[in-house]
Structures are given as structure tokens and as C-alpha cells.
């Protein structure tokens, strides 16, 4: 929003006007070029990734997504195990982190006094500042042993009648990947939910309380009001979980097999690229890995797009500032 009020129709004329101040024309064109570069990057990514995966696209077609065989030595490339591992680990992450994120946001926005909400909010945000590779290191040497010794045996004993909690207990597998992801997406989801809750008008709270609602009943009113934005926050977290690479690669076991047991090693799209890209021998192998990258790009672009639209609709009208990057 600039100070000069110019109608939408004259906008392009103003940006490209040859008769205006020369400095202004140069300035606006330079800024416009930077903006166009952003669009260009998205287009270039789509084109470059498609071009370099053409070999694999031609060879396997849609079967790439439905085949379970990933055997580079035999030249067989099917992405289904990676798709399964990616979706399963992300869902585990959301299952754990969504209740936590909601709890954290509710506490920070609705309950904690200012002098607690600010520092504590900062500490939660710091969780998002920890690099992925550091989570991975911590996952290998702290989380995986704890899961192997205590958590997974307990799950197998009490919930072993479910197919999810059977199999060899190693501490390295789908569950470990999901838990690490949950810790990583919690600050992202809760930051956006905080913005969304803060954007719900105070009059909603006052009305609920005035009608005799308890604190929790009032909070439920606020949650219903912010529901689309909360959905956006969750989808944003999903987008992050789908593409998270290093931490997952280090704890998920990297075996391209589909197993319903959460204890068994799995493999995600992102970790397959990270692990095998520099070792890929042969054009078809490399092309298949680039196609994995193309799939990840398209899926996360769509997922993030949907999430942004949902969050914008809630926070934009009330002037909320999107804190989470």
C-alpha cells in the first residue's frame, strides 16, 4: 500500500510510464523484475524438473506411482514405497503435533498473561530454529534408543493386537521419523494458530463469557471462529512434514518397503533423493530421482497454496501479520 492512490486500471501505465520521472521508471522496473523473478523461479523449477525427469516419465508413465519395485540394479523404479513412507510419517507427525500445537496456542493466546506468553512463545518458536540435521543427530542418539528400550516394547505389549505395533523393535523406523517430524512441525503449526486465534475478534469472547460460558466453552467458540485458519495451519504443517529431509533420513531406516508396522524401517521421497542422488549411476536412475523431486515440488506447492489461502482469509481481514515463514 503506497501513499499514492492510483486506481487499478492505471497501475501498469504508472509502473511502465515513459513520461514519468526517469528515476521512478527505472526504480519501478527494477522492483518489477525482482517480483517477476519470483514467478520465474516457480516456472523454472517446474520446467527444469520436468525436463530432467523426462526419461523416467516416458519409461514408466503413471506406473511410477503405483509400482512397489525400487531396484536400481535391475533398472526398476517404482515410487509407491516412498509415497507411502512420506504420507504415513507425515500423518503420524500431525496426529501427535496438532493437539499439542492447539494446546500451546490456546495457552499462549487465551490464558497466559503477557509477561509469560512472550518469553514462552519465543522458546516455542526457537524449536523451529533448530536445524533439521541437528534434530536428526538427536534422533539417532537420544530418541531412537529411548524408543527402542522403553516406548516401543510398551506399545508392542499393550497395543500389539493392532497391526501397527508389531514387528522387530529397532528404534529406527516410521514411528521415530513421525515423532521427530511432530517435534519439528509443532512450532510451525502453533505459530500460525496463534495468529489465527489472535485475529478472532474480542467481542466473540466477551459475548460467550457474558452468556455464562466457562473459560473452556469460550475457547471453543474462538476455535470454531478460527476453524478455517486452523485448518490452514495444519495443512501448512503437513506441507513442511512432507518435504522434511535430513532429520527423517537419519531416523527412518531408509528401506523402500511398505509395512503397516510403525516399528519397521521406511523411506520417504525426500530421503530417497537425499540418500541416492549423488550415488545415482545411469541416466534413468537419476531421472527417476528427479521425478521424485518433481512430485514433491508439485504436491508441496499445492498443499502450501491451499494452506496460505485458508490462513489469509482469516488473518488478512483483521490485519493479522503472518509471523511464521
Contacts of other proteins in 228-257 (CB under 8 A): 236, 239-240, 242-246, 250
Please identify, using beta-carbon distances, which residue of 22 and 157 lies nearer to other proteins. Answer: 22
Query: From the CB of 207, what's the least distance to other proteins, in Å?
Result: 17
Burial class (CB in 10 A: 0-12, 13-18, 19+), 151: middle
Say if CB 104 and CB 190 are below 8 A apart.
Answer: yes
Please identify, using beta-carbon distances, which residue of 3 and 73 lies nearer to other proteins. Answer: 3
User: Where on the phi/psi map is residue 69: left (φ > 0), alpha (ψ -120 to 50), or beta?
Assistant: beta
Please identify, using beta-carbon distances, which residue of 88 and 104 lies nearer to other proteins. Answer: 104
Of positions 65, 80, 87, 120, contacts other proteins by CB under 8 A: 120
Query: From the CB of 239, what's the least distance to other proteins, in Å?
Result: 5
Please identify, using beta-carbon distances, which residue of 45 and 164 lies nearer to other proteins. Answer: 45
Query: From the CB of 305, what's the least distance to other proteins, in Å?
Result: 5
Tell me if 262 contacts other proteins by CB under 8 A. no
Please identify, using beta-carbon distances, which residue of 133 and 207 lies nearer to other proteins. Answer: 133
Of positions 68, 168, 305, 313, contacts other proteins by CB under 8 A: 305
Query: From the CB of 294, what's the least distance to other proteins, in Å?
Result: 8
Query: From the CB of 54, what's the least distance to other proteins, in Å?
Result: 12
Tell me if 215 contacts other proteins by CB under 8 A. yes
Please identify, using beta-carbon distances, which residue of 169 and 248 lies nearer to other proteins. Answer: 248
Query: From the CB of 134, what's the least distance to other proteins, in Å?
Result: 5
Query: From the CB of 235, what's the least distance to other proteins, in Å?
Result: 10
- Give, as ranges, the residues between 48 and 87 that touch other proteins (CB under 8 A): 48-49, 51-52
CA distance 135 to 250: 9
Of positions 16, 17, 24, 66, contacts other proteins by CB under 8 A: 24
Tell me if 147 contacts other proteins by CB under 8 A. no
Query: Contact region for other proteins (CB under 8 A) — 1-9, 150-158, 199-207, 257-265?
Result: 1-9
End-to-end CA distance of the chain: 21
Residue with cell 504508472: 14
Please identify, using beta-carbon distances, which residue of 120 and 156 lies nearer to other proteins. Answer: 120
- Give, as ranges, the residues between 27 and 46 that touch other proteins (CB under 8 A): 27-28, 30-35, 37-39, 41-42, 44-45
Size of residue set near other proteins by CB under 8 A: 100
Please identify, using beta-carbon distances, which residue of 225 and 315 lies nearer to other proteins. Answer: 315
Amino acid at each position: 500500500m503506497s501513499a499514492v492512490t492510483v486506481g487499478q486500471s492505471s497501475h501498469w501505465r504508472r509502473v511502465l510510464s515513459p513520461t514519468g520521472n526517469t528515476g521512478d521508471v527505472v526504480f519501478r522496473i527494477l522492483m518489477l523484475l525482482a517480483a517477476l523473478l519470483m514467478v520465474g523461479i516457480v516456472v523454472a523449477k517446474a520446467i527444469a524438473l520436468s525436463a530432467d525427469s523426462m526419461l523416467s516419465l516416458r519409461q514408466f508413465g503413471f506406473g511410477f506411482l503405483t509400482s512397489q519395485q525400487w531396484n536400481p540394479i535391475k533398472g526398476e523404479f517404482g515410487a509407491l514405497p516412498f509415497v507411502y513412507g512420506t504420507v504415513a510419517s507425515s500423518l503420524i507427525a500431525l496426529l501427535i503435533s496438532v493437539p499439542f500445537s492447539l494446546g500451546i496456542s490456546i495457552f499462549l493466546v487465551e490464558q497466559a498473561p503477557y509477561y509469560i506468553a512472550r518469553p514462552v512463545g519465543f522458546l516455542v518458536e526457537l524449536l523451529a530454529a533448530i536445524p533439521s540435521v541437528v534434530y536428526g543427530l538427536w534422533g539417532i542418539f537420544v530418541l531412537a534408543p529411548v524408543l527402542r528400550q522403553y516406548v516401543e516394547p510398551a506399545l508392542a505389549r499393550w497395543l500389539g493386537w493392532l497391526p501397527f505395533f508389531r514387528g522387530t523393535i529397532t528404534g529406527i523406523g516410521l514411528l521415530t521419523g513421525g515423532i521427530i517430524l511432530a517435534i519439528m512441525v509443532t512450532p510451525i503449526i502453533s505459530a500460525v494458530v496463534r495468529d489465527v486465534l489472535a485475529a478472532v475478534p474480542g467481542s466473540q469472547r466477551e459475548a460467550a463469557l457474558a452468556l455464562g460460558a466457562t473459560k473452556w466453552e469460550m475457547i471453543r467458540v474462538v476455535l470454531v471462529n478460527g476453524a478455517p485458519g486452523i485448518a490452514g495451519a495444519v495443512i501448512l504443517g503437513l506441507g513442511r512434514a512432507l518435504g522434511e529431509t535430513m532429520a527423517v533420513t537419519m531416523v527412518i531406516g531408509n528401506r523402500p518397503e511398505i509395512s503397516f508396522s510403525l516399528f519397521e524401517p521406511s523411506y520417504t521421497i525426500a530421503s530417497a533423493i537425499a540418500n541416492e542422488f549423488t550415488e545415482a549411476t545411469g541416466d534413468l536412475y537419476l531421472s527417476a530421482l528427479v521425478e521424485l523431486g518433481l512430485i514433491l515440488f508439485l504436491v508441496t506447492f499445492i498443499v502450501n497454496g491451499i494452506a496460505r489461502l485458508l490462513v489469509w482469509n482469516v488473518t488478512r481481514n483483521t490485519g493479522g501479520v503472518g509471523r511464521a515463514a
